[in-house]
């Protein structure tokens, strides 16, 4: 029942909020990207069904956003352990809790931004690619730059997560 100043009882709550925010916001971005670029595919597929294979690229990229959130959630969840039942309080410090919240928010909200970018670019870019095939290289480059936004959040979250072991 040791409720120390650096490891209070509510510290795991903050860390679990990090896990939840990573998955929730990341999947919100991935779902928006998948749905919006899916609308574009539905518009293109009726006119040029042979282009569907290449038009699925934004959908795959949206899936990667969700994978980033999943990786960070698994990483944080491995650091969380329940307090031992025989009296001893959890040694999960408040510092770790806030840091895990920062991990989750950074990967979740950058995933939301990246998914939004991929959705809009995927919808409009695919429709333009139907009319002008040279748009493809530019579309894929813009999609990759949007995807990299989520990757930056993942890198920051990974670096933050290493600090909890120290």
Residue choice 1, 5, 10, 78 for contact with another protein (CB under 8 A): 78
| 53 contact partners, CB below 8 Å, separation of at least 6 | none
Residue choice 2, 4, 42, 74 for contact with another protein (CB under 8 A): 74
As a whole number of angstroms, the distance between CA 111 and CA 32 comes to: 11
Binding residues with another protein: total (CB under 8 A): 25
**Sites for another protein among residues 126-155 (CB under 8 A):** 140, 147, 151, 154
Nearest Cα to 19, choosing from 73, 65, 71, 69?
Answer: 73
Residue choice 16, 39, 70, 105 for contact with another protein (CB under 8 A): 70
Tokens found for residue 130: 């139907």
Tokens found for residue 148: 């990299």
As a whole number of angstroms, the distance between CA 7 and CA 107 comes to: 25
Residue choice 23, 61, 101, 120 for contact with another protein (CB under 8 A): 61
Helical pair 135-162 and 94-131, crossing angle rounded to 10 deg:
170
Distance spanning both ends of the chain, measured CA to CA: 24
Candidate ranges 29-37, 71-79, 88-96, 110-118; the one touching another protein (CB under 8 A): 71-79
Candidate ranges 53-61, 80-88, 89-97, 112-120; the one touching another protein (CB under 8 A): 53-61
Residues forming contacts to another protein in the complex (CB under 8 A) are 49-50, 53-54, 56-57, 60-61, 63-64, 67-68, 70-72, 74-75, 78, 140, 147, 151, 154, 158, 161-162
């Amino acid at each position: 029942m040791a409720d120390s100043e650096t490891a209070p009882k509510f510290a795991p709550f903050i860390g679990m909020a990090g896990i939840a925010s990573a998955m929730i916001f990341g999947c919100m971005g991935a779902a928006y990207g998948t749905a919006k670029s899916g609308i574009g595919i539905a518009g293109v597929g009726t006119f040029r069904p042979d282009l569907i294979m290449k038009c699925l690229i934004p959908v795959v990229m949206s899936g990667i956003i969700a994978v980033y959130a999943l990786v960070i959630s698994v990483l944080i969840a491995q650091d969380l352990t329940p307090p031992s039942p025989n009296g001893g309080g959890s040694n999960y410090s408040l510092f770790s809790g806030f840091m895990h919240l920062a991990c989750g928010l950074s990967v979740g909200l950058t995933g939301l931004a990246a998914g939004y970018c991929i959705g809009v670019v995927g919808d409009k870019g695919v429709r333009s690619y139907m009319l002008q095939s040279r748009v493809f290289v530019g579309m894929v480059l813009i999609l990759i730059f949007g995807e990299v936004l989520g990757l930056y959040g993942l890198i920051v979250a990974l670096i933050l997560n290493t600090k909890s072991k120290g």
